[in-house]
Amino acid sequence: MGITNSNKELSTMRINCKDSFQVKLSLTAAPDIETNPTDIVLILDRSGSMAGNALANLKIGAKAFIDIIAEATGGMNGQIGSGSRIAVVSFADTATQDTQLITSVSDLKSAVDALTADGDTNHADAFTKASELLTPPSSNAKVMVMFTDGKTTTGADPSPVAAAARTAGTIIYCIGLSGNDGIDVDTLEDWASKPASSYVAITPDAAELEEIFAELARNISKPGATNIVLTDRISPCFRITAVSMPSKGTASLIDATSVQWKIDELGVSQSEGAELEFTVKHVGSCSGTVEVNESISYSDTEGNTVTFPSPKLEVDCDVVVNPETCPEPVELSVDGCEDTVELDAGKLDMDSLGRIAKLDITVRNVCPNKRVALAAILTEVDCEGIEHKRGLKTMVVPAHTNETCRDVIVRGIKFVLPESLDVSGATCSICNERNFKARFIAHYIDNNFECCDNMENGCCK
């Protein structure tokens, strides 16, 4: 069957700046369907929430699955070959065995086309009817493909029925569509074979069902994989800090953002899963919604096609703006026993002479995608409490792209305070204690306000 499933999961969907999280890679492989005849039951949700495009796309996907299995088994004259068979079970309030385990492609497709959407969702009865089809003695491998778009709304608890099927040697795949009733991912993982990350697929869009069914069928029809080499490169916003021992094969760091996983063989004699976990730390300046993947490459001797999801992480960091850079140094040297050295330092902007006051300010609750105009006003206070002007700076704080309003930290607003302006009243000529007051003004630059004298139908002319 080749690589029957592949997955990439994160231990969390949100971290604070500089925090760490776990990444899990999963692979599942099984023997060639031609040399390992397989009985497959397609368990298809036809509850009321599937009405419309969802059911139409499900039918396309299920029929594509049947065609791919038929071709892979070398079937002729519209038949599935090499001893493999497929059955269709559909369910709503109750489940129906729409076909037995048969080889006729046209009969299987007719059963799929006849499905109509109505009623509640009874997963327990669906698993029961599928298990009955797989119960008669057979040397064939046994597979269930459960598709559903919602939670259980009627009938018994499905978990014990699915567990009994797994104990009897049945491999269970679960495909979930985030439909009108929602999907309980934890429940699907409980029903599916283990590791769940290799046997559960979730799609938010019914249009993707055809490709999910097709990919599963293509992978089921290939042989187990040998000489696997998987290289995962993560975004430069992160660093890999630790790699655990994989459940199968070996793993090693290539560099701070890349890990390589090698497996000699997987699923050659029976269905088999493998997992690799590694620890990742946020180290970059990126924040907001960040894609963890940079790239993933996969190869094996059999040429299996393997794709991995590209999970995203919400990174919660303070927004930091540095409006002024540090002065560039001018290099000079004195050779030998020279007493003096002359240097033409060029031109110097008058912004960093004398004492320097460097101010930080946090602008509260700045909405996304809006620039802020910020003014900083500095005065010096003499011994009589009178304020003397020392400077005014205005600047634009760039817009941030977080999904919600955030505090923005503006750092390093510099004011130059020459000693000749000292009004402290102290007798010392330099290094006196000096007192200052800072004031700040901020407002949005970007807004939707319009003002004009001529109005027509509520709009400016």
Residue 116, domain member (yes or no): yes
Residue 282, domain member (yes or no): yes
**What single letter denotes the amino acid at residue 107?**
D
Collapsing DSSP to helix, strand or coil, 336 comes out as coil
Collapsing DSSP to helix, strand or coil, 134 comes out as helix
For residues 429 and 253, the model is more confident at 253
CATH of residue 104: 3.40.50.410
Collapsing DSSP to helix, strand or coil, 155 comes out as coil
| Residues 70 and 125 occupy one common structural domain | yes
| Residues 79 and 228 occupy one common structural domain | yes
Question: Which pLDDT value is given to residue 452?
Answer: 64
Using pLDDT thresholds of 50, 70 and 90, give the confidence band for residue 461: low
Residue 217, domain member (yes or no): yes
Question: Which pLDDT value is given to residue 84?
Answer: 92
CATH of residue 406: 2.60.40
Q: For residues 162-190, give the mean pLDDT.
A: 87
Q: How many CB atoms lie within 10 A of CB 344?
A: 5
**What single letter denotes the amino acid at residue 243?**
V
**Of 268, 267, 304, 259, residue with least CA distance to 25:** 259
pLDDT tens-digit series, residues 40-83: 999 999 999 898 888 999 999 999 999 989 988 887 889 999 89
pLDDT tens-digit series, residues 72-116: 888 788 999 989 999 999 999 999 999 999 999 999 999 999 999
Distance spanning both ends of the chain, measured CA to CA:
69
Whether the pLDDT of residue 176 is over 80: the answer is yes
Number of domains, the chain: 2
- Phi–psi pair at 162, nearest 5 degrees: -65, -40
For residues 405 and 431, the model is more confident at 405
Whether the pLDDT of residue 134 is over 90: the answer is yes
Average pLDDT, whole number, for the chain?
87
Whether the pLDDT of residue 204 is over 70: the answer is yes
Q: How far apart are CA 388 and CA 397, in angstroms?
A: 27
Residue 331, domain member (yes or no): no
Residue 101, domain member (yes or no): yes
| Residues 384 and 274 occupy one common structural domain | no
The structure's pTM equals 0.50
**Of 337, 460, 109, residue with least CA distance to 99:** 109
Using pLDDT thresholds of 50, 70 and 90, give the confidence band for residue 458: low
For residues 40 and 64, the answer to whether their CB atoms sit within 8 Å is no
| Residues 115 and 248 occupy one common structural domain | yes
Write down how long the chain is. Answer: 461
| Angle value at C-alpha 438, between 435 and 441, nearest 5 degrees | 170
Q: For residues 24-40, give the mean pLDDT.
A: 84
| Residues 424 and 371 occupy one common structural domain | yes
Domain span at 79 = 2-315
The tokens 């608890």 sit on which residue?
A: 157
